[in-house]
A and B are shown apart, each in its own frame.
Chain A
Amino acid sequence: MNKENLAISISGMSKWYDDFKVLTDIDLSVTFGERIVICGPSGSGKSTLIRCLNHLEEHQKGSIVVDGIELYPGMKNPELVRRTVGMVFQSFNLFPHLTILENCILPQRRALKRSKEQAREVAMKFLERVKIPEQADKYPRQLSGGQQQRVAIARALCMEPKIMLFDEPTSALDPEMVSEVLDTMIELALSGITMLCVTHEMGFARKVADRVIFMDTGQIIESNAPETFFSQPKHPRAKEFLGQIL
């Protein structure tokens, strides 16, 4: 396949923290519109892998191309790739000194140089989409965890990214708030955006994922459609893992 048409193309990629090898020879191609769920035991390198995709972490070997932009250690303008890649964190990471609306407006104003009016319009559009326009003038600490995470999703979407990365977006939530965030993510998935999502929510994976990727000790050891992965995991580690979480 032509690399230019790929959302993400990773080949032979390895990463070390000092002399500890976190990722080993990762190969992964993601087409536009594809929805991928990444799972695996704690410490297997899931977060590290997706953080390499918007250059929050640098890889040392192999290549990563995201939306046609080659990422490399010490690259000069990582913000260029970050503008086409949105990210949602486990711990929300909203800006506590700004209101919900300002959280959504500021990045557009500074990174995309949009006008105040336009940024505001876009922000309200996405706050409506995650169903909290009425909270626009509150501060993050006044919102529940589920609401904060939906704002974080809206904030990322305001940049109109082509690719969205999620790192365990529901793990820090109280159980009763998980579904509101998952619903938002399902809706987003159905809109056709490219998504890579680290999560252990297997119901979500079944519903929206085109592919489930299973990682262990820094390697991708299984990659399959959800039905196949859940019903006939090949690798013993994957079987063991599914036994634990299902």
Chain B
Amino acid sequence: MNFMENLFGPFYGNMIGLLLSATRYTIYLSLAAFFGGGLLGLILTVFKISPSRILRWFATGYIWLFQSIPLLMLLFLLGLGVPTFYQIDIPPWLAAGTALTLFTSAYMSEVWRGALESIPTGQWEAGKAVGLTFMQNLCWIIAPQAFRIAIPSTVGFMIQVIKGTSMAYIIDYDDLMRWGKRIANSQLDGAEPFVVFPIVALIYFSLCFPLSLWAKHLEKQARDS
């Protein structure tokens, strides 16, 4: 933390150092939700367009359910409700990771299904006509085309995930938000909310803004090709 102390003085250097080290947990949770939710979302997407009616119904129900429950509610349910009801101990990171994964998977699969459905039916038919099975057709013909279309909104959604992680403080997950709140509540001179929260906001901004630029860039690239 020496570098921070030299830059901002001992007090603010320490504070910013603490916040930055808590930011790691925000990033971990975001990545877990993004990859966990992405994987689950991928499976749901395949279910959603599969020839099997049961799988389609399952996916539709799942998406409908998790898009309709507020993320905060999911966090309460998994972080407080389930442990109390079943008398078990769920660590905050697991509860938060699961809640965000469920939330992310439902949204991602909607984005990807939209992209898949935007591929003309002629492509499906051409794939069938050359003897590809449903899965081969999906993997080699349809998904690669849909993927290009879906990248910008997928990157864009990652911003929502990062911002979403800030709610996990409510079930005691030790991330940037929780440390910000803790410091702001500390009654120390110079650590008033109006000082701490703008710093916290600035850190969230510096996580999200580059992604937002990247998504814009990808969108432009997709439009131009």
Which of A's residues lie within 8 Å of B, judged by CB? 54, 56, 78-80, 82-83, 85-87, 89, 91, 93-97, 106-107, 110-112, 155-156, 159
Q: In the bound complex, how far is the Cα of B131 from the Cα of A111, in angstroms?
A: 6
User: By DSSP majority rule, is chain A's interface helix, strand, loop, or mixed?
Assistant: mixed
- A94 touches which one: B126, B128, B132 (CB < 8 A)? B126
**A89-B140 in contact given A96-B145, A97-B145, A107-B132 (Cβ < 8 Å):** no
Chain B residues, CB < 8 A from A156? 129-130
**A107-B125 in contact given A96-B145, A97-B145 (Cβ < 8 Å):** no
- B128 touches which one: A56, A97, A159 (CB < 8 A)? A56
Chain B residues, CB < 8 A from A89? 122, 125-126, 129
Q: Is the CB of A110 within 8 A of B132?
A: yes
Q: Is the CB of B130 within 8 A of A155?
A: yes
| Distance between A18 CB and nearest chain B CB, rounded to angstroms | 18
**A110-B136 in contact given A93-B123, A95-B123 (Cβ < 8 Å):** yes
Residue of B nearest to A165 (CB): B129
Q: In the bound complex, how far is the Cα of B123 from the Cα of A97, in angstroms?
A: 11
- B141 touches which one: A79, A91, A95, A159 (CB < 8 A)? A95
- A79 touches which one: B123, B131, B144 (CB < 8 A)? B131
**A82-B122 in contact given A97-B144, A110-B136 (Cβ < 8 Å):** no
Does B220 sit at the interface, judged by CB under 8 A? no
Q: Is the CB of B131 within 8 A of A97?
A: no
Q: Is the CB of A111 within 8 A of B136?
A: yes
Chain B residues, CB < 8 A from A111? 130-133, 136
User: By DSSP majority rule, is chain B's interface helix, strand, loop, or mixed?
Assistant: helix
Q: Is the CB of A91 within 8 A of B131?
A: no
Chain B residues, CB < 8 A from A106? 140-141
Q: Is the CB of A93 within 8 A of B131?
A: no
Q: Is the CB of B132 within 8 A of A93?
A: no
CB within 8 Å of A: which B141-190 residues: 141, 144-145, 148
Q: In the bound complex, how far is the Cα of B148 from the Cα of A33, in angstroms?
A: 43
CB within 8 Å of A: which B104-136 residues: 122-123, 125-133, 136
**A82-B129 in contact given A95-B141, A111-B136 (Cβ < 8 Å):** yes
Q: Is the CB of B128 within 8 A of A78?
A: yes
| Distance between A47 CB and nearest chain B CB, rounded to angstroms | 11
Q: In the bound complex, how far is the Cα of B127 from the Cα of A106, in angstroms?
A: 10
Q: In the bound complex, how far is the Cα of B145 from the Cα of A96, in angstroms?
A: 8
| Distance between A85 CB and nearest chain B CB, rounded to angstroms | 8
Chain B residues, CB < 8 A from A86? 129-130
Chain B residues, CB < 8 A from A87? 129
- Give 16 A-B contacts (CB < 8 Å), ordered by A residue: A54-B128, A79-B128, A80-B131, A82-B131, A89-B122, A89-B129, A93-B122, A93-B123, A95-B126, A96-B145, A97-B144, A97-B145, A110-B132, A111-B132, A111-B136, A112-B131
